[in-house]
Amino acid sequence: MVMMDQSKRLAQPLAWTRAGKLAVAATCACFLLAAVGMGLFALLSDDPGTRQGCIKVSGASYVGSATIQACGHDAAVICGAGSASVGAAATADMRQACRQAGLTYGSPRTATPES
């Protein structure tokens, strides 16, 4: 009979074996190591969009999404071109990226880094 002593077995908590404890500990350690690694990568990665004088904007393109990424003089030229360099949907993002980089938006004559 399959149901014999089932209520007795269900009344007792499951016992952890040494292999089960080791498997759970190894899995938790792997997840913790992966989380620490991703955190360090995020902190230490060299993203051009975060440096002074650099811009990085994503917007709609003919084939999906396009990323505009530039530093220094190239960023100043793109910011100076204003909305001509990006679509209408990304204009606000471009304006904000130029402001964060310390560049003037939409004024080709003054497209140099602000002091």
- Which pLDDT belongs to residue 37? 95
Q: What is the pLDDT of residue 110?
A: 45
In this prediction, residue 22 carries a pLDDT of 97
Residue 55 · residue 94 · CB < 8 Å: yes
Distance of CA 85 to CAs 25, 30, 32, 97, 107, Å? 52, 45, 43, 13, 12
Residues of the chain with pLDDT under 50: 109-112, 114-115
pLDDT at residue 56, rounded to an integer: 85
The pTM of this model reads 0.47
Residue 31, pLDDT score: 97
- AA letter at 29: A
